[in-house]
């Protein structure tokens, strides 16, 4: 039996990736979501957390006037809840060294493109506008460089000839909801490590 990995989830929006993790945990994923933190009081992800009985901390724009103080508050909440890993799921704030030093190589982020291509907040639209034939998603460890931390996993998504931006977005989100729980299982099983080369290595099962 794998001991459940205790995670804190950070979000800013609808919380569909949070829901995917909640659902996967209900089906045997060895993960225990001990705290959800929302950067916005109107994020629907808060309702998803409450419906699942997960304690939620709700912040607002004013709290982030001092980003490091905001992260110190989040770190304190996560530590109190016993979180071992931080999982960003549609979290639209850049984490500061306060968070990264509290959870070294234990802050995961999900990016809707194949890094290092199409960094930033509009990755799906940027890839679509560029006319690429393949895009995808990346799960990586956050670091101080935006969208540049060590890559844990990637999955390709074909851009179809008849795709609209909305159709492509929907398919990317579907893949996110599969890949993120898969990565969390690898972490829970102790198979993920960051080498001295700052590359992620996945041990065989």
Residue 125 sits in a domain whose CATH number is 3.40.50.170
For 139, how many CA atoms within 13 A lie in the half-sphere containing its CB? 28
User: What is the DSSP track for 70-123?
Assistant: HHHHHHHHHHHHT-SEEEESS--SPPPHHHHHHSTT-EEEEESS-TTSS-STTH
pLDDT in tens, 9-55: 999 999 999 999 999 999 999 999 999 999 999 999 999 999 999 99
Which residue range(s) make up the domain with 107? Answer: 5-192
Active-site option among 111, 173, 177, 201: 111
pTM to 2 decimals? 0.96
111 flagged as catalytic: yes
Residue 199 belongs to a domain: no
Residue 48 belongs to a domain: yes
Residue 203 belongs to a domain: no
Q: Which two tokens stand for residue 126?
A: 């940027």
Q: How many domains does the chain have?
A: 1
| 15 annotated as ligand-binding | yes
Three-state SS at 132 = coil
Residue 127 belongs to a domain: yes
Residue 16 belongs to a domain: yes
Give the pLDDT of residue 11: 98
Helix 165-188 crosses helix 16-26 at what angle (to 10 degrees)?
40
Q: Which two tokens stand for residue 124?
A: 């799906």
pLDDT in tens, 84-138: 999 999 999 999 999 999 999 999 999 999 999 999 999 999 999 999 999 999 9
| 109 annotated as ligand-binding | yes
Residue 153 belongs to a domain: yes
Residue 204 belongs to a domain: no
């Amino acid at each position: 039996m794998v001991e459940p990995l205790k995670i804190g989830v950070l979000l800013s929006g609808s919380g569909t990736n949070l829901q995917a993790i909640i659902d996967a945990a209900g089906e045997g994923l060895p993960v225990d979501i001990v705290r959800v933190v929302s950067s916005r009081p109107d994020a629907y992800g808060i309702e998803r957390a409450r419906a699942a009985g997960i304690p939620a901390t709700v912040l607002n724009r004013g709290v982030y006037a001092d980003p490091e103080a905001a992260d110190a508050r989040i770190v304190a909440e996560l530590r109190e809840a016993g979180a071992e890993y931080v999982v960003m799921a549609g979290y639209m704030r850049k984490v500061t060294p306060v968070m990264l030093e509290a959870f070294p190589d234990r802050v995961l982020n999900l990016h809707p493109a194949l890094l290092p291509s199409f960094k930033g907040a509009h990755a799906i639209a940027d890839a679509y506008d560029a006319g690429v034939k393949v895009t995808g998603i990346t799960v990586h460890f956050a670091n101080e460089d935006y969208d540049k931390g060590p890559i844990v996993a990637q999955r390709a998504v074909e851009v179809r000839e008849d795709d609209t931006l909305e159709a492509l977005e929907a398919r990317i989100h579907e893949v996110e909801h599969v890949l993120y729980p898969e990565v969390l299982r690898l972490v829970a099983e102790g198979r993920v490590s960051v080498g001295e080369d700052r590359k992620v290595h996945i041990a065989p099962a």
